[in-house]
Amino acid sequence: MEKRTVAGALAFSIVVVFFLFSIFLLHPFGKPGQVQMDDYIITHTQNETGTNNGVTSVVFDYRGFDTLGEATILFSAVAGVLLLFRRVRH
Amino acid sequence: MTKIVKTTANILFPFTMIFGLYVIAHGHLTPGGGFQGGAIVASGCALLLVAYGSPWVFDHIKDKRLATFESLGAIGFITIGLLGLIFGAVFFGNFLAGSGSLFGTTPATGSTLADFNTGGVLPLMNFAVGVKVIAGLFVIILVMAYASSIKEWS
């Protein structure tokens, strides 16, 4: 048997074992573990951010810094593509 | 492309635009937001690119202008965050929420009818991110399609 096949089978079995462990370690359906932050956001979203959409209030207000990171990723992607293909233009 | 594809793109393009801009504008009320609506609008522009070819689109829309819009969206987003630092308490602070001015109405607690004039800085941020995502995704697709369409790399 080739070495690549053995290495692939080994890596696949390791991944499968970890997936099975993580499946059995999940919390039961309908019973989330820590709900304090969920309850706080659901209760206070309309008063604090004035928004009916809780997801948008999390994305742009409570976790605005994450959105800044996403925007930075998109900006760097655009900068990289324009830098890479700039010689194409006549 | 053939006439069938062009006609289909001509019909579908305005509806895609309107749906994407609706998702951006109502990001603080309905599911979606700046990123999602921007992706919808950029996919509509990609439909135009598929139907008419990248040289045609390149003649009508300059990629430098799209890059400028992308930068303007990013600058607007960070500016709103810094305004939160100045007028509110923290970076990305929602200083317009509940102030009674622009987008300053506070909705009643519980499930209520959606009021467009709510949300504080969230609609402005949705707009900035929407402009940024539209221009960014479209300029990526446009430049890469144009680069793959020409034979010689000068």
Q: How far is A32 from A87, CA to CA, in rounded Å?
A: 53
Look at A49 and B122 and tell me if their CB atoms are within 8 Å: yes
Burial status of residue A18 (CB atoms within 10 A of its CB: 0-12, 13-18, 19 or more): exposed
Partner A contacted by B54 (CB < 8 A): no
Q: Do B137 and B44 touch, CB atoms closer than 8 A?
A: no
The boundaries of the domain holding residue B111 are 3-149
Helix (H) or strand (E) holding B136: helix B122-149
Token representation of residue B148: 């793959």
The 3 state secondary structure assigned to A33-60 is CCCHHHHHHHHHHHHHCCCCCHHHHHHH
Q: In this structure, is residue B115 part of a structural domain?
A: yes
Mean pLDDT over B144-152 rounds to: 79
**Interacting residues of B99 by C-beta distance below 8 A, sequence separation 6+:** B120
Closest to B102 in 3D by CA, of B121, B88, B76: B121
Q: Do B126 and A64 touch, CB atoms closer than 8 A?
A: no
Judged against a pLDDT cut of 70, whether residue A90 lies above it is answered with no
| Nearest-by-Cβ selection for A78 from B67, B105, B118 | B67
Partner A contacted by B69 (CB < 8 A): no
- B125: which chain A residues are within 8 Å (Cβ-Cβ)? 60, 64, 67
Q: Do B122 and A60 touch, CB atoms closer than 8 A?
A: yes
- A53: which chain B residues are within 8 Å (Cβ-Cβ)? 27-31
Q: Do B20 and B46 touch, CB atoms closer than 8 A?
A: no
Segment A22-54, tens digit of pLDDT: 988 888 888 877 888 888 888 888 888 888 888
Q: Do B28 and B118 touch, CB atoms closer than 8 A?
A: yes
Mean pLDDT over B35-47 rounds to: 92
More confident residue, A11 or A87: A11
Q: In this structure, is residue B25 part of a structural domain?
A: yes
Partner A contacted by B153 (CB < 8 A): yes
Q: Is the ipTM of this complex over 0.90?
A: no
Q: Nearest chain B residue to A80 by CA: give it.
A: B140
Partner A contacted by B41 (CB < 8 A): no
Q: How far is B49 from B39, CA to CA, in rounded Å?
A: 15
Q: Do A53 and B120 touch, CB atoms closer than 8 A?
A: no
Q: In this structure, is residue B134 part of a structural domain?
A: yes
Kindly report the backbone phi and psi dihedral angles of residue B149, in degrees, each rounded to the nearest multiple of 5, phi listed first: -85, -25
Domain count of chain B?
A: 1
Token representation of residue A75: 């900006």
| Nearest-by-Cβ selection for A71 from B74, B104, B114 | B74
Grade residue A56 by pLDDT with cuts at 50, 70 and 90: confident
- Taking the CA of residue A30 and the nearest CA in chain B, the distance in Å comes to 23
What amino acid is encoded at A83 in this protein?
Answer: L
Q: What is the pLDDT of residue B19?
A: 94
Q: In this structure, is residue B154 part of a structural domain?
A: no
- Taking the CA of residue B49 and the nearest CA in chain A, the distance in Å comes to 17
Of the listed ranges A6-20, A68-82, B83-97, B101-115, the one predicted with least confidence = B101-115
Partnered with residue B105 across adjacent β-strands are: B118
